[in-house]
Chain A
Amino acid sequence: MSAIMREKITRSEIRHVAKLARLELQEEEERLMTDQMNNILSYMDKLNELDTSAVAPTTHAIRLQNVFRKDQVEPSLEREEVLANAPQSDGASFVVPKVF
């Protein structure tokens, strides 16, 4: 066996994941991210020491079911207040750059 650890995630996979996450990493950030994620993901292998084939996953520690409320119109924030934090608005809507 080679002493070199198999790469968990390659540079091009990092680029793909960054795209999914809407992050455009700079060259140097991409290199550091690749190294660190390989290191962290190798540590995660530890979980494979456990046989969990018969274990149900837990997504919330306190289980709640069917939290319903009535479908009623209630007062909400004023439009002006909501738009106050927008990087760009026309007073009625959020304004964004062209889509394509």
Chain B
Amino acid sequence: MEIFSLTMHDLHELLVRRELSVTEAVRSFLERIQTFNGKLNAYLTVLAEQALQEADRFDNGKKDLTESPLAGVPLAIKDVLCTRGIRTSCGSRILQQFVPPFDATAVEALHRAGAIFLGKTNMDEFAMGSSNENSAYGPCRNPWDLERVPGGSSGGSAAAVAADLCAGALGTDTGGSIRQPASFCGVVGLKPTYGRVSRFGLVAFASSLDQIGPITKDVEDAAILLQAVAGYDRRDSTSVDRPVPDYREALRTPIEGLKLGIPQEYFIDGMNPDVVQAVQRAIQTCRDLGAEIVDLSLPHTDYGVAAYYIIAPAEASSNLARYDGVKYGFRVPDAKDLMDMYCQSRVNGFGFEVKRRIMLGTYALSAGYYDAYYRKASQVRSLIKQDFLAAFEKCDALLAPVSPVPAFKIGEKSDDPLQMYLSDVFTLPASLAGVPGISVPCGFTAEQLPVGLQILGPHFQEELILRVAFHYEQATRDQRPKPAVL
């Protein structure tokens, strides 16, 4: 197997056994990036020199490979996470020149674990989008079909992992931005419980929803990467102070006897039939592994899109008020006064999707409309959360599709924002409820496009969904081809 195709844990084993130097590993990825990034546009910034210097510290014995399973492992970071001294653009023109003076807590944790950063990945501007088409730096492409989107907003991270341009990556998920691109690109993606991973240094989109999580080649890698970033951080007052279990250890326990719920609302008219079939086969596999399958209902699922696309834009309109051309970010030259400078800098710095969400959010929070939109949506959010709490009384975890359709064509939905929003129907409810979810590859459509199985669990039960995903993956592992288009 090629170096760049290895999982993080297999690669690390070779490094520790000295069968491979860290420099060789890094070079293998850098060459791969050199060859394919032009086609894919997965990376916005490549840190070749820095990565090789870091590698050298391991090969010279200045750093110890055995200290952590991430030591010497080359990773990619979504460009929404602040990296000290390295431009962090958020896929936006307004942050084209922004070089953070600090690291995000998650980035710091990976540094401390000895991970090597290959670069910063493409994304929808400020993580607003489901296709990566909203990047100010051009769309990222899906390695399975270059005419199609990789999903979004963590499209660059998912494409980089799928195309072997890194060993693993960090993404962020506000309404599905880890799970959906992972499913579109045929890799594993996990959105942790809200509060499990510190958001400090994650450029805010919707603060009550945003979470950082791993995008990886297999489930064990997701467990390793989550382990490194999970935990309390005093710099994020919404991070939750509770013990972090040993995720990798938790994978060992078989899933026999677990009760897995199938929510009927996640199988609806208009879905791609190949997606339905792949997910149903996956459910059968879980049954064969000894899990008990129970049908149940999450009755408010269909209201998730409307509630989310009020709440998230409302929070965004407030968060993005900070881009005023004063302290950092783009400023128009020659403004006639301060107000003109604000308005012109923002209107020229933001892309249209971001402006639309700021407008929607500002409207939903404005006098006279607050109760009808924001308050109403927040009440519906309670009902959606209640659906999950009730479901987890009847089962241990839920199995569902990630998206009703596989990766769509670039341009297919970009003119119709509502259609784009509706494609998030299966990922938004878990985000609103704050529960963790993982997308694990579960086969292909007739057109050879990957399909993802979504496993959702109760709050802070990441080890449970990882365990289900792991045993499903082990049972189906030999059926995993690589993208042929490269």
In angstroms, Cα B346 to Cα A86, docked, is: 15
Residue of B nearest to A34 (CB): B359
- Assess the A37–B360 pair: CB atoms within 8 A: yes
Prevailing SS type, chain A contact patch: loop
Which B residues are in CB contact (< 8 Å) with A82? 101, 327
- Assess the A56–B359 pair: CB atoms within 8 A: no
In angstroms, Cα B107 to Cα A54, docked, is: 43
334-350 of chain B: CB within 8 A of chain A: 335-344, 346-347, 350
Shortest C-beta distance, A84 to chain B (Å), equals 7
Check if A58 is an interface residue, CB within 8 A of chain B: yes
Prevailing SS type, chain B contact patch: helix
- Assess the B356–A33 pair: CB atoms within 8 A: yes
Check if A47 is an interface residue, CB within 8 A of chain B: yes
State which of B47-55, B255-263, B378-386, B476-484 sits at the interface with chain A: B378-386
- Assess the A17–B359 pair: CB atoms within 8 A: yes
- Assess the B208–A52 pair: CB atoms within 8 A: no
- Assess the B383–A50 pair: CB atoms within 8 A: yes
Which B residues are in CB contact (< 8 Å) with A20? 362, 366
In angstroms, Cα B372 to Cα A41, docked, is: 11
- Assess the A29–B352 pair: CB atoms within 8 A: yes
- Assess the B309–A44 pair: CB atoms within 8 A: yes
- Assess the B363–A9 pair: CB atoms within 8 A: yes
Check if A75 is an interface residue, CB within 8 A of chain B: no
- How many chain A residues have a CB neighbour from B under 8 Å? 54
- Assess the A37–B346 pair: CB atoms within 8 A: no
- Assess the B306–A86 pair: CB atoms within 8 A: no
Shortest C-beta distance, A60 to chain B (Å), equals 5
With known contacts A22-B346, A69-B234, A46–B327 Cβ distance under 8 A: no
- Assess the A44–B338 pair: CB atoms within 8 A: no
6 contacts between A and B (CB under 8 A): A52-B376, A52-B383, A61-B381, A82-B101, A87-B326, A97-B340
- A40-B421, A61-B459, A97-B336 given; name 7 further pairs at CB < 8 Å: A29-B352, A29-B355, A47-B303, A47-B310, A52-B379, A82-B327, A87-B325
Binding site for B on A (CB under 8 A): 9, 13-14, 17-18, 20-26, 29, 32-33, 36-37, 39-41, 43-44, 46-50, 52, 55-62, 64, 67, 69, 77-78, 81-82, 84-88, 94, 96-100
Closest 10 pairs (CB-CB, A-B): A61-B434, A57-B378, A85-B328, A87-B331, A52-B379, A24-B343, A81-B101, A67-B237, A21-B362, A55-B379
